[in-house]
Amino acid sequence: MINDSVRAIRWQGNHLQLLDQRRLPHEEVWLDLYGAADTAAAIRDMVVRGAPAIGVTAAYGIVMAASQHYRDAGDSWIAAIQTDLDILRAARPTAVNLFWAIDRMSGLFHRIAGNPADILLQEARTIHDDDIAANHQMGLLGAALIEPGKGVLTHCNTGSLATGGFGTALGVIRTAWSQQRINAVYADETRPWLQGARLTAWELGEDDIPVDVVVEGAAASLMATGRIGWVIVGSDRIAANGDVANKIGTCNLAIIARHYGVKFMVAAPVSTCDPNTPDGAAIPIETRDPREVLTLGDKRIASDNASAWNPVFDVTPAELVDAIVTEEAVIMQPDAERMSVLWG
């Protein structure tokens, strides 16, 4: 049996509730959101994070915005909602699932007569349910690649907290653990937000899967021991040639893995794969406030005269990736030709 108890996104009657991931693991606090501005702020401020979860959240945000504009403007709600769509698009520029969800929801607008609430809510719920189903399928496909007997290393958080539920890379790990294909799970702490130490370790603990947290600087030493068979990560955008944008530090892991003969897997839904982005150089990389690097909690940890560069993501070249696992296909040694199977 696969343990999967965590959910971070839920619809409550007429509004959205999000588990505030900034407060984990010490507090479980749910925030109530009532409109697009609330939703965009929650995405931007890291209440919710992870590309699939951002997409699901945005879909529900559009439901609330459309309902509000229909109450205020009647049949002119489509014109009125455009500003809200722009606000949502600007929240996190690297996560392609955000744009995918907005386009999917807005594609229904001109087919709706009257109050849009029910139709849009059904679509948002479908996006949410489909994401969970896709994650379970990826879990099975990814686990099948893992030969039993070694551990895995993961980066950031790619589980139920980062998706509609179950997880991408963490879904693969959950499935492989249940099948006794892996004997240990290691999670990078993932500076500066510590998503590995705070979120992945908490989530796995909730489902009784033991995990060892390591600092990113220990990854090479860990892989050198021979304990790791696969590095398994998620993605915020995969380019048409197989280049992978993911949490900063992912490329480092891919380079180290190649040196030590460790396999490197990316698990992500097809909605994360972007045929309109030719390669990694074309992926916009979000840069956040330097204070996230210079402080820990509310305490400054760097010298007062220090500044910081804080890119949130990096790009791992396709040639360093052994497998991209989606719900529709597994792409081994990805390149533009092999990736094209996903676009039909």
Longest Cα–Cα distance of the chain, Å, equals 64
Q: How are beta strands 9-12 and 237-239 bridged, if at all?
A: unpaired
Catalytic residue among 84, 236, 243, 322: 236
CA distance 51 to 179: 27
- Identity at 122, one-letter amino acid code: Q
User: Which positions ≥6 away from 319 have C-beta within 8 Å?
Assistant: none
User: 6 φ, ψ to 5°?
Assistant: -90, 135
Q: Is 130 a catalytic residue?
A: no
- Give how far the C-alpha of residue 244 lies from the chain's centroid of Cα atoms, to the nearest Å: 13
C-alpha–C-alpha distance, residues 27 and 256, integer Å? 35
Pairing of strands 228-233, 263-267: parallel
Please report which residue ranges of the chain form alpha helices under DSSP H: 36-44, 51-73, 77-89, 96-106, 117-143, 169-178, 201-206, 219-224, 250-260, 291-294, 336-339
Q: How many helices (H) and strands (E) does the chain have?
A: 11, 16
Quote the CA–CA distance of 218 and 139 in Å, as a whole number.
Answer: 27
Nearest 5°: CA angle at 265, between 262 and 269? 175
CA distance 33 to 11: 10
For residue 245, give the nearest of 235, 258, 253 by alpha carbon. 235
d(CA 304, CA 292) in angstroms, rounded, equals 14
User: What amino acid positions are annotated as catalytic residues?
Assistant: 236
